[in-house]
A and B are shown apart, each in its own frame.
Chain A
Amino acid sequence: MLNNRKIRLMTKLAAYENEEGKEDIRLSKYYKTDYVRLQVLKSITATAFGYLLLLFMIFIYKSEYLIENAVSLDYRSIGMTILGYFIVLQTISIIGTLIGYSIKYDRSRKKLSKYFNLLKRLRIIYKEEDGSLMNESQREDTSL
């Protein structure tokens, strides 16, 4: 026989799983530290790649000047400047990623806890259906 309460719960759960829950459930497979670390790693790679492209564009832009003065350039100070900007950019992106993705993870946890509550209620309904709730309480009573 159809159990309306169960269907209602399962519908809510399925709707959540289909929409916003997808991301939350994906996140729940990680520990917080692992997730944030992975995102930091991705940020470092992306920032480095973007910075390289930016440098390449600056190189083309200044190519005439660079080729003309190729001998007399102070490569040491240029290198230091490039490295300095790189470190500053990376620091900003790492800190931003740490904060942003920690918040994101915590929020998804909050939503997930509601989801788990619904799951718990569903489990209780299942137990009731099987009549196992009854058996369990009896077992507990006799063990006392």
Chain B
Amino acid sequence: MMQILEFREKLREIYQKYQNYLNPAIKFIVALIVFMVINKAIGYDDKLNKITIVLLLSVVSAVTPSAILVLLAMVLSLAHVYSVAPLLAILLVFIYIILYCFFIRYTPSFGYVVLGIPILYALHIPYTVPLLLGLIASPITILPASCGVAIYYIIHVIQEEVATATDITSMDDIFPVFINIIDKIVANKQMIMSIIVFALVIAVVYVVRRLKIEYAFEIAIGAGTVTTIIGFLIVDLRLDIPKQIGTMILGTLISAVIVVAIQFFRRVLDYTAVENVQFEDDDYYYYVKAVPKIKVSMTNVKVKRINAQRGSEEEIDDSFEDDDEDKREMERRIRDNQAREARLQDNMNRRR
């Protein structure tokens, strides 16, 4: 265990040191995976499949906010569908807009969830998302998660239809395909049931991690994993698709391991970010680089007093010592001020 903690500490140091380069690099890799998965799943347009285009898009996503990545991925998926059948692309745009108006607009900061679920579905580990959302967010994230599942199944249906239909370029031929797609989406029980299971997992993980018990987060991940496996087992057995059970269980276990790892490093990374801020006062311009001091493994220092007068053991929490110092200083000054005022008042009274 000690070795892992040391490793985490080292990782923290490295991250802190090279943060400016690491963040875009991570974003670049994520974007690359996203665009490659999209191209593999619905890469109908050969021009967009070229590696230069993918690299270019990834570079753009690496240096821009994460919302741009979501937008680019949506545009790429639309462009691919458009190259096969323009009308289907319009249908997809409509579906995106409807989902946005009804659900996604309430949680704009979780836009990446909508993108993440279809991508992770392709990698067979979509179960990471509900587990993680339950841990770090509130149950409102059920909305974007449901949209993500819906988009995966909708694109899946479109994919199937495009593969089976022979000629879908002309207007007359596209109409039955359109009807077919809508029929399949509406009748897709697997989609509805998956959404329910995902929502259930988010709720279970959220409720358990809020309990005031030891290891609440770890137990929450365990509870979420069990809920996922049981939920999807019921779905697969009800819909009679036992082939998926193996991948599902394996995927869930891998997801759980990933989430445990993320949870382990999250605490550190949350407080690791180096802040570069600028401000000014009347005399100076300040360019401050604020490096967090917190060392998680070092927060609780036990001081044992041998010649104890009051209590033999005392715990000192040295995180936020600046804050405390500041507060103490303030309090002392206020006390001094009050004492001086009282003295002056006393003098005045005596003079009277």
- B-binding residues in A (CB < 8 A): 2, 5-11, 13-15, 18, 46-47, 49-50, 53-54, 56-57, 60-61, 93, 96-97, 100, 121, 124, 128, 133, 137, 140-141, 144
Residues from chain A with a CB closer than 8 A to the CB of B279 are 10-11, 13-14
Interface presence of B275 (CB below 8 A): yes
How many angstroms from the CA of A133 to the CA of B345 in the assembled complex?
A: 17
How many angstroms from the CA of A98 to the CA of B345 in the assembled complex?
A: 53
Q: Which stretch from B93-101, B150-158, B234-242 is at the chain A interface?
A: B93-101
- Asked whether, in the complex, the Cβ of A7 is within 8 Å of the Cβ of B288, the reply is yes
- Asked whether, in the complex, the Cβ of A15 is within 8 Å of the Cβ of B275, the reply is yes
- The residue that B106 contacts in the complex, of A50, A56, A96, A144, with Cβ under 8 A, is A96
Interface presence of B165 (CB below 8 A): no
How many angstroms from the CA of A13 to the CA of B326 in the assembled complex?
A: 14
How many angstroms from the CA of A96 to the CA of B345 in the assembled complex?
A: 57
Residues from chain A with a CB closer than 8 A to the CB of B101 are 46-47, 49-50, 53
B contact patch SS: helix
Residue of A nearest to B183 (CB): A61
How many angstroms from the CA of A41 to the CA of B94 in the assembled complex?
A: 22
Given known A-B contacts A15-B277, A137-B337, A144-B348, A10 and B106 have beta carbons under 8 A apart:
no
How many angstroms from the CA of A47 to the CA of B103 in the assembled complex?
A: 9
Given known A-B contacts A6-B281, A8-B326, A137-B340, A100 and B140 have beta carbons under 8 A apart:
yes
3 nearest A-B pairs in the assembled complex, by CB-CB distance: A50-B101, A14-B277, A46-B101
- A-binding residues in B (CB < 8 A): 91, 94, 97-98, 100-102, 105-106, 140, 178-179, 182, 275, 277-279, 281, 284, 286, 288, 290, 322, 326, 329-330, 333, 337, 340-341, 344-345, 348
Given known A-B contacts A141-B348, A144-B345, A10 and B94 have beta carbons under 8 A apart:
no
How many angstroms from the CA of A50 to the CA of B104 in the assembled complex?
A: 12
Residues from chain B with a CB closer than 8 A to the CB of A15 are 275, 277, 290
Residues from chain A with a CB closer than 8 A to the CB of B182 are 57, 61
User: Mind listing 15 A-B residue pairs with CB under 8 Å?
Assistant: A9-B326, A10-B288, A13-B279, A14-B278, A14-B279, A14-B288, A47-B101, A50-B100, A50-B101, A53-B98, A53-B101, A121-B326, A121-B330, A128-B333, A140-B341
- Asked whether, in the complex, the Cβ of A124 is within 8 Å of the Cβ of B330, the reply is yes
How many angstroms from the CA of A56 to the CA of B288 in the assembled complex?
A: 55
- The residue that B322 contacts in the complex, of A8, A54, A57, A140, with Cβ under 8 A, is A8
* Chain B nearest CB, measured from A120 CB (Å): 10
- Asked whether, in the complex, the Cβ of A11 is within 8 Å of the Cβ of B105, the reply is no
- The residue that B286 contacts in the complex, of A7, A57, A60, with Cβ under 8 A, is A7
Residue of B275, B333, B340 contacting most chain A CB atoms (<10 Å): B275
- Asked whether, in the complex, the Cβ of B179 is within 8 Å of the Cβ of A61, the reply is yes
How many angstroms from the CA of A137 to the CA of B342 in the assembled complex?
A: 11
